[in-house]
Amino acid sequence: MLDPDGDTHLYVQISEVIRSRIVQGGSPGDPVASEADIQREFGVARTTARRAIRVLRDEGLVHTVHGEGTFVGVHAAAPRLPRKTPLYQHIAAEIAKQISAGEFQPRRPIPGETTLIQQYDVARETVR
């Protein structure tokens, strides 16, 4: 699918793939693949995934809401309801609930960043 030896940067190739997916079936407000999803699907670094999303954002095809993700369309036109609680607060509340319920043993570590990133499919910054 991608041509790493070609004369087009990988992030541009990835943005073209995502653009065609949006054009073929995306509606305003639909979520777009996260940076972590792009990394896994295309086997690229996080900076490459971030650049691919930036290309689409600069074109006005998508918008990003901090802590929630990237969505089709411009922010003002997207019919998506905002979350009542930011995602990072939701994750923290779930961990606190697990601690209160005794799911973690005393003096034992809670799940690390990598585990939480995979479990919630979010960016490292969200988990931090």
Give the Cβ contact number of residue 127 at 10 Å. Answer: 20
The whole-chain average pLDDT of the chain stands at 85
**Bridge partner residues of 71 (DSSP):** 31, 63
For the ranges 34-48, 57-71, 91-105, the one whose mean pLDDT is highest: 34-48
More confident residue, 79 or 28: 28
Q: Residue 82: its pLDDT value, please? A: 55
> pLDDT band for position 58 (50/70/90)?
very high
Tokens in use for 5? Answer: 């030896």
Q: Residue 53: its pLDDT value, please? A: 95
- What is the mean predicted confidence (pLDDT) over 48-61? 94
- Residue 78, pLDDT > 70, answer no
> pLDDT band for position 56 (50/70/90)?
very high
Q: Residue 79: its pLDDT value, please? A: 54
What residue ranges in the chain does DSSP mark as E strands? Answer: 62-65, 69-72
